[in-house]
Amino acid sequence: MSVQIDAKGTRKPFVNGPAGGTSEEKVGAFDNYISYYGRYTLDLKAQTVTHHLEDSSEPNWRGVNNVRWFEFQGNDRLLLIPREDGKGGVIDRKNATFKLLWERIK
Protein backbone atom coordinates (compact mmCIF):
# COMPACT_ATOMS: atom_id res chain seq x y z
CA MET A 1 0.00 0.00 0.00
CA SER A 2 1.15 3.51 -0.71
CA VAL A 3 -0.24 6.79 0.58
CA GLN A 4 0.32 10.30 -0.79
CA ILE A 5 -1.38 13.20 0.99
CA ASP A 6 -1.29 16.93 0.28
CA ALA A 7 -2.01 17.68 3.94
CA LYS A 8 -3.19 21.27 3.65
CA GLY A 9 -4.10 21.48 -0.02
CA THR A 10 -1.94 24.58 -0.44
CA ARG A 11 1.09 23.28 -2.37
CA LYS A 12 2.20 25.72 -5.06
CA PRO A 13 4.50 25.15 -8.06
CA PHE A 14 8.10 26.32 -7.71
CA VAL A 15 8.57 29.68 -9.44
CA ASN A 16 11.64 28.49 -11.38
CA GLY A 17 10.25 25.10 -12.42
CA PRO A 18 10.32 21.59 -10.91
CA ALA A 19 14.08 21.43 -10.28
CA GLY A 20 14.48 25.10 -9.36
CA GLY A 21 12.77 25.42 -5.98
CA THR A 22 14.28 27.74 -3.41
CA SER A 23 15.00 26.46 0.10
CA GLU A 24 11.84 28.19 1.33
CA GLU A 25 9.71 26.68 -1.45
CA LYS A 26 11.06 23.20 -0.69
CA VAL A 27 10.35 23.56 3.04
CA GLY A 28 6.81 24.73 2.26
CA ALA A 29 6.23 21.79 -0.07
CA PHE A 30 7.59 19.27 2.44
CA ASP A 31 5.56 20.72 5.33
CA ASN A 32 2.34 20.15 3.37
CA TYR A 33 3.06 16.65 2.05
CA ILE A 34 2.96 13.24 3.69
CA SER A 35 3.80 9.97 2.00
CA TYR A 36 4.46 6.45 3.17
CA TYR A 37 4.39 2.87 1.98
CA GLY A 38 4.45 -0.65 3.32
CA ARG A 39 2.23 -3.63 3.97
CA TYR A 40 -1.11 -3.62 5.74
CA THR A 41 -3.12 -6.09 7.78
CA LEU A 42 -6.82 -6.17 8.61
CA ASP A 43 -8.44 -7.20 11.88
CA LEU A 44 -12.06 -7.72 10.87
CA LYS A 45 -13.19 -8.48 14.42
CA ALA A 46 -11.74 -5.22 15.81
CA GLN A 47 -12.57 -3.36 12.56
CA THR A 48 -9.02 -2.04 12.30
CA VAL A 49 -6.47 -1.75 9.56
CA THR A 50 -2.78 -1.52 10.42
CA HIS A 51 -0.39 0.16 8.00
CA HIS A 52 3.10 -1.27 8.61
CA LEU A 53 5.19 1.68 7.43
CA GLU A 54 8.33 0.52 5.67
CA ASP A 55 9.38 4.09 4.87
CA SER A 56 7.90 7.58 4.90
CA SER A 57 8.55 11.19 4.00
CA GLU A 58 8.66 11.63 7.79
CA PRO A 59 11.90 9.81 8.78
CA ASN A 60 10.63 9.08 12.31
CA TRP A 61 7.74 7.04 10.88
CA ARG A 62 10.01 4.29 9.47
CA GLY A 63 8.97 0.99 11.02
CA VAL A 64 5.87 2.45 12.70
CA ASN A 65 2.58 0.55 12.82
CA ASN A 66 -0.27 2.97 12.14
CA VAL A 67 -3.54 1.49 13.48
CA ARG A 68 -6.91 2.90 12.43
CA TRP A 69 -10.52 1.87 12.70
CA PHE A 70 -12.19 1.59 9.32
CA GLU A 71 -15.74 2.01 8.06
CA PHE A 72 -16.92 1.43 4.52
CA GLN A 73 -19.35 4.07 3.28
CA GLY A 74 -20.86 2.59 0.17
CA ASN A 75 -18.74 1.00 -2.54
CA ASP A 76 -16.36 3.89 -3.14
CA ARG A 77 -15.61 5.47 0.24
CA LEU A 78 -13.51 4.33 3.18
CA LEU A 79 -13.39 6.25 6.46
CA LEU A 80 -10.23 5.77 8.55
CA ILE A 81 -10.17 6.91 12.18
CA PRO A 82 -6.91 6.96 14.18
CA ARG A 83 -6.96 4.53 17.08
CA GLU A 84 -3.82 5.72 18.87
CA ASP A 85 -3.08 9.16 20.28
CA GLY A 86 0.66 9.06 19.50
CA LYS A 87 1.52 8.98 23.21
CA GLY A 88 0.83 5.30 23.91
CA GLY A 89 -2.89 5.75 24.55
CA VAL A 90 -6.02 4.83 22.64
CA ILE A 91 -8.52 7.38 21.37
CA ASP A 92 -12.21 6.71 21.98
CA ARG A 93 -13.58 6.05 18.50
CA LYS A 94 -16.66 8.21 19.06
CA ASN A 95 -14.56 11.18 20.24
CA ALA A 96 -11.96 11.09 17.48
CA THR A 97 -11.69 14.46 15.75
CA PHE A 98 -9.20 13.57 13.01
CA LYS A 99 -10.56 11.34 10.26
CA LEU A 100 -9.44 10.43 6.77
CA LEU A 101 -11.98 9.83 4.04
CA TRP A 102 -10.63 7.95 1.05
CA GLU A 103 -12.75 8.00 -2.06
CA ARG A 104 -12.25 5.97 -5.20
CA ILE A 105 -11.94 8.22 -8.23
CA LYS A 106 -13.75 7.00 -11.32
3-class secondary structure, 73: strand
pLDDT tens digits for 34-65?
899 999 999 999 999 999 999 999 999 999 99
Tell me, what's the pLDDT at 104? 85
For residues 2 and 37, the answer to whether their CB atoms sit within 8 Å is yes
More confident residue, 98 or 72: 72
Parse the chain into domains and list their residue ranges.
Answer: 2-103
Tell me, what's the pLDDT at 57? 92
CA atoms of 69 and 80, how far apart (whole Å): 6
Tell me, what's the pLDDT at 27? 87
Q: Report whether pLDDT(87) > 80.
A: no
Question: Residue 7: pLDDT band by 50, 70, 90 thresholds?
Answer: confident
pLDDT tens digits for 8-23?
777 888 888 888 889 8
